[in-house]
Amino acid sequence: MIETKKSLFDNLQNFFGFDNFKGEQEAIITNILSGNDTFVIMPTGGGKSMCYQLPALMTDGMAIVISPLIALMKNQVDQLRAFGGSDSIAHFLNSSLTKNEITKVKEDVLSGKTKLLYVAPESLTKQENIDFLRLNNISFVAVDEAHCISEWGHDFRPEYRKIRQVISNIGDNIPIIALTATATPKVQQDIQKNLQMNNSTIYKSSFNRGNLYYEVRAKRNVLKEIVRFVKQHQGKSGIIYCLSRKKVEEVAEALNLNGVKALPYHAGLDAKVRADTQDKFLMEDVDVIVATIAFGMGIDKPDVRYVIHHDVPKSMEGYYQETGRAGRDGGEGLCLAFYSEKDVDKLQKFMKDKPVAEREIGTQILKEVIDYAESAVCRRKQILHYFGENFNDAGCNNMCDNCCAQKQFFDAEAPLHKALSLIKLLGEKFDDHHIISVLMGVDNPQIHNYEHHLFTEFGSGKEEGENLWQSLMRQALLNNFLSKDIDQYGLLRLTKSGNAFIDAPYSLRYVLNRPMGSTDDDDGEDGKHGGSGALDTLLLQMLKDQRKKLAKQKGLPPFVIFQDPSLEEMCTHYPITIDELKQISGVGAGKAIKFGAPFIDLIKKYVDENEIDRPIDMVIKSAANKSALKVYIIQNIDRHLALDDIAASKGLTYEDILREVESIVNSGTKLNLNYYIDEMIDEDRQDEVFDYFKTAEIDSIDDALVELGPNDYTREEVQLMRIKFMSELGN
């Protein structure tokens, strides 16, 4: 045993350069080296990968590592090779490889050079791969992300259910090490049963990550909130999770518009693009990755400083694992989630068409997330309770928003006694929603069917209010007066402590939930700009004077440089860089570069002299369908298509297309519409309108029609000429 221990530490130091093991790593590695089945439940950042990498390097043969994440496989293989091993010491076998690459992998494996082979579960179950693996000496199989086996896990994969059968086909008595960062008691039981490793040695570390700060905010102006947060942590690495690919693209683009180096990452992107994005994040060429929750991020980056959930997480397991990617080096880790009832509704709609049993599981998993978000109790206590770990919230050290907030307490003795007594009276056959409905006197069909409206307890809790009962039920679970029967759709059962409290109640205080307030999904569209307050009229006059001065120098009407609405927006957002000026509506890149310098110099000086607290969240434009339409219009004008044809192809009116073209030009993009205007308006009449706008004080079409004669020109003709004038002189 002494020799093994010496060998362990020698190998740890020689290969990985570490002097000591972390947590229970040494015991776990010793157990797998002894050929025993091993079950490891260890939080993200605890060093799970070391638990199978080191024994694989120390034993004869090759270890198979089953992982669902292509990105993680590549990352780990790269790291193992970088630690000083040859390129053949570790390989991965998955759908991202070409035929030639697969041939090379198999040659290295058969030669005995490869010690670890990472395989996707889908690749593992192919008969040709099973036949190939049978030709090799397999030291053990590591099942990473083992929670994927369980339907109660946050990322259930049907292929994981077949792993045990495949291992048996590859060889007899191959030891298994199953590893997961998230396993509730129910999920743990499922994993052991499915992998037939009920006699395995279990190593379970605490799920507490003391360096992570947890916060939940109501979802209002979420895009602005995210940009503000990221700008406050400029230069730090972060991950932002969104539910949809479309939202991933929008958030990434909004961050880039606001000077943040961000890239999208989702399953819809080409595999090479995803790999390049991952490398850029690891090499710090990009600060923020915006990713879909469903696809996940298999990136082993220790210095991620924050994780943001743009949408409500689907499950507590998913939330825990995703937030666990922050602060893996033990440093700062900020975990911010945005909560909205609309998000919850969306997730519930996704489940609508699923089989009843699956829908029931999904509903319960989602309910845990809702309770977590809406509760005023220590976030850490709630997370750890979910994973079967009791935690004294005094140990949180104000590392969550609830522990930092002002709390409102209520005397819980009488209401807790009432609730527990009712649960007992009803035979412990109902969930918390039903119990609260009885107490609040809600006469719904289920209550009527059970005739619970006839009980004297029906409506007896109206005076306390629904918020108190929701707060109470949550804390009765967290403090182990009640337990949830997961297999029976979340029915509440009295614990020993619960029964004892009914017999001998005592004084205790609980925290009342804080109302989240109304939420919305207004991500800030073009034209919707929430300013920082009242218009700064003094600055506005200074900007108008600057515009007049510049107009005189350039021999242009003032409105060609910047229009009044753009100047007004500058007076609420105070842009002091060209990048910030580009975000002001009606400015755009062209005008910002051509005319912007004296304006931002003036604003910067004004801000400094008057000690103005500038809003960090500059105007945020979401690059959604409007931008796509603008690109389409510009491309077709370059192809010399008639404006009415472009309008018809997009289902727009002629007035709509003129407005869109005018918006493009006003933002600083030069468009050559001569091919169209020359067909519509005679050259002499063009010159007359052009000359009028040269001397006009304002760019009003109504004023132009009065001056030029309403019978000589149509509104559309004047509007077309104004577009040409602005494009040629302003851009």
- Whether residue 533 is predicted with pLDDT greater than 50 in this model: the reply is no
Q: What is the pLDDT of residue 701?
A: 84
Q: Return the SS3 of 376.
A: coil
* R_g (Cα) of the chain, nearest Å: 32
Q: Return the SS3 of 62.
A: strand
When the pLDDT of each residue in the chain is averaged and rounded to a whole number, the result is 86
Buried b (16+ CB within 10 A) or exposed e, 392-417: ebeebeebbbbbeeeeeeeebeebbe
Mean pLDDT of 326-347: 89
Nearest CA-CA partner of 473 in 461, 455, 456? 461
131, 164 Cβ separation under 8 angstroms: no
Selected residue with higher pLDDT from 698 and 191: 191
Selected residue with higher pLDDT from 474 and 620: 474
Q: How confident is the model at residue 622 (pLDDT cuts 50, 70, 90)?
A: very low
Sheet holding 90-93, edge to edge: 90-93, 116-119, 62-66, 138-143, 176-180, 38-41, 201-204
Q: What is the pLDDT of residue 402?
A: 92
Buried b (16+ CB within 10 A) or exposed e, 40-57: bbbbbbbbbbbbbbbbbb
- Whether residue 528 is predicted with pLDDT greater than 60 in this model: the reply is no
Strands (E), 420-490: 482-485
**Maximum CA extent, the chain:** 104
Mean pLDDT of 306-334: 90
CA distance 126 to 497: 51
- Whether residue 584 is predicted with pLDDT greater than 90 in this model: the reply is no
Selected residue with higher pLDDT from 589 and 307: 307
667, 588 Cβ separation under 8 angstroms: yes
75, 303 Cβ separation under 8 angstroms: no
425-472: pLDDT as tens digits: 999 999 999 999 999 999 899 998 999 999 999 999 999 999 999 999
629-642: pLDDT as tens digits: 788 888 888 888 88
247-294: pLDDT as tens digits: 999 999 989 888 899 999 988 888 889 888 988 998 899 999 999 865
721, 690 Cβ separation under 8 angstroms: yes
Selected residue with higher pLDDT from 456 and 79: 456
37-68: pLDDT as tens digits: 999 998 876 788 899 999 999 999 999 999 88
251, 223 Cβ separation under 8 angstroms: yes
Q: How confident is the model at residue 381 (pLDDT cuts 50, 70, 90)?
A: very high
Q: Which of 167-171, 296-300, 646-650, 709-713 has the lowest mean pLDDT?
A: 296-300
- 64-78, 207-221, 600-614 — which one is most confidently predicted on average? 207-221
260, 627 Cβ separation under 8 angstroms: no
The residue length of the chain stands at 731
- 37-51, 141-155, 252-266, 526-540 — which one is most confidently predicted on average? 252-266
Q: Domain residues of the chain, as ranges?
A: 2-204, 212-404, 413-507, 537-609, 625-730
Q: What is the pLDDT of residue 523?
A: 44
Q: What is the CATH architecture assignment of 212-404?
A: 3-Layer(aba) Sandwich (3.40)
What is the CATH superfamily name and number for domain 625-730?
ATP-dependent DNA helicase RecQ (1.10.10.1390)
Mean pLDDT of 467-482: 94
* Alpha-carbon distances of 668 from 138, 525, 544, 592, 663, rounded to whole Å: 65, 19, 19, 8, 9
- Whether residue 510 is predicted with pLDDT greater than 50 in this model: the reply is yes
* Centroid of chain to Cα 426: 41
- Whether residue 618 is predicted with pLDDT greater than 80 in this model: the reply is no
**pLDDT above 90 coverage of the chain, percent:** 38
Q: What is the pLDDT of residue 54?
A: 92
Nearest CA-CA partner of 579 in 264, 235, 260? 260
How is residue 678 written in tokens? 């020359």
Q: What is the pLDDT of residue 154?
A: 64
Contacts 24+ apart (CB under 8 A), 345-349: 346/243, 347/243, 347/312, 347/314
Q: What is the pLDDT of residue 3?
A: 47
Fold for domain 413-507? Arc Repressor Mutant, subunit A (1.10.10)
Nearest CA-CA partner of 573 in 605, 607, 541, 611? 607
Helices (H), 171-324: 185-194, 222-232, 245-257, 271-282, 316-323
Strands (E), 85-236: 90-93, 116-119, 138-143, 176-180, 201-204, 212-218
| Residue 708: Cβ-neighbour burial (10 angstroms; 0-12, 13-18, 19+) | middle
Fold for domain 537-609? DNA polymerase; domain 1 (1.10.150)
Half-sphere exposure of 38 (CA within 13 A, CB side): 27
Mean pLDDT of 323-340: 91
CA distance 366 to 351: 11
513, 376 Cβ separation under 8 angstroms: yes
CATH of the domain spanning 2-204, picked from 3.60.15.10, 3.40.50.300, 3.40.50.10890, 3.40.605.10: 3.40.50.300
Mean pLDDT of 531-554: 81
- Whether residue 525 is predicted with pLDDT greater than 50 in this model: the reply is no
CA distance 300 to 241: 16
CA geometry: angle 31, 32, 34, nearest 5 deg: 65
Q: What is the pLDDT of residue 617?
A: 47
615, 603 Cβ separation under 8 angstroms: no
265, 297 Cβ separation under 8 angstroms: yes
Mean pLDDT of 140-163: 84
CA distance 338 to 347: 14
* Side chain identity at residue 291, one-letter code: A
Q: What is the pLDDT of residue 503?
A: 95
* Alpha-carbon distances of 532 from 349, 536, 592, 618, 676, rounded to whole Å: 37, 10, 21, 10, 42
Tabulate helix, strand, coil % of the chain (nearest 5): 50, 10, 35
Q: What is the pLDDT of residue 437?
A: 94
117, 109 Cβ separation under 8 angstroms: yes
- Return the residue matching tokens 């017999």: 503
- Whether residue 232 is predicted with pLDDT greater than 50 in this model: the reply is yes
Q: How confident is the model at residue 475 (pLDDT cuts 50, 70, 90)?
A: very high
Same fold, 413-507 and 537-609: no
Q: What is the pLDDT of residue 43?
A: 80
29, 54 Cβ separation under 8 angstroms: yes
